Amino acid sequence: MLIPALKLAGAAVSGLSSAVAAANQATDSMIDQLKANENATVNRVGRVLEGTKSGFLMGYVSPSILTAVGVALTTGDLIAAVGSGIVVLGNPVAGVCAAVGAVYFGWKALNEAERNSVLEQVGECLKVGFELIKAVINLALKLMSELLTADNLKEVKETVSDAAKFVGRHLSDITHSTKDKLIEAAAAAQATSRIAAKATKKTAKDASDAATKAAGSVTNFLKGKRKKERANTDD
């Protein structure tokens, strides 16, 4: 849903009526699926995308700009992601929510050079100007602040984190948050401790099994020796 729609949007810059129609259809379908979802957070993300579309009256262009910025923030390389057809998340709906959420949690965390990098990637992909991209982002941020509750934002952030992990990155790569980095470091340390504990437990079990086997071998040897001695005595 997400990357295929961006591919169609990229193709639509050719101006061919068939390509533009396909991009508009993909964008409308994406928005409709989100808005029809029973999950309140997903529904509101759909309304955010719909708001960017109606706010600029440019069809597929403004929603595509928003999701493209999100993919750039999530993957670190929009052009490579679209070109390779990378899957941001296994669930297409969650992937769109993650892209939109990445803009909310990531855009303001960027420094000027990082923002320019994202603008260049999106501009190249969709052949749009920097000012339009920034205008779409600002409208989307406003809409998200108005439509998403604290619970919605918590759910969106978890989805953004899942998407980052899915493409081999971390939530903190998007948010640049010290708190997120500390949480990730603690989780990594905990995971390492669990692995070490399992390894220690396995080593101890292996040692115990080896000792039991050795003891059994000694016992069997002594039993055999006694039987042989008795046999010699009987002779």
Each residue of 46-80: pLDDT tens digit?
A: 999 999 999 999 999 999 999 999 999 999 999 99
Kindly state whether residues 183 and 101 are assigned to the same domain. no
pLDDT for 233 beyond 60: no
Kindly state whether residues 110 and 163 are assigned to the same domain. yes
Tell me which of 112 and 231 has the higher pLDDT: 112
pLDDT for 224 beyond 80: no
Q: Which of 171, 202, 217 is the last residue of a domain?
A: 171
Q: Which domain holds residue 228?
A: 177-235
Kindly state whether residues 157 and 206 are assigned to the same domain. no
14 alpha carbon, distance to own chain's centre? 31
Asked if residue 115 lies in contact with residue 32, where contact means CB atoms within 8 angstroms, the answer is: no
Count of the separate structural domains present in the chain: 2
Kindly state whether residues 75 and 150 are assigned to the same domain. yes
Q: Which of 141, 171, 201 is the last residue of a domain?
A: 171
Kindly state whether residues 165 and 196 are assigned to the same domain. no
Banded model confidence at residue 191, pLDDT cuts 50, 70, 90? low
Each residue of 149-186: pLDDT tens digit?
A: 999 999 999 999 999 999 999 999 999 989 988 888 78
Banded model confidence at residue 89, pLDDT cuts 50, 70, 90? confident
State the Cα–Cα distance between residues 53 and 6, nearest whole angstrom. 15
Kindly state whether residues 184 and 213 are assigned to the same domain. yes
Tell me which of 49 and 205 has the higher pLDDT: 49
Kindly state whether residues 141 and 216 are assigned to the same domain. no
State the Cα–Cα distance between residues 161 and 167, nearest whole angstrom. 10
Residues of the chain with pLDDT > 90, as a percent, come to: 64
Kindly state whether residues 191 and 117 are assigned to the same domain. no
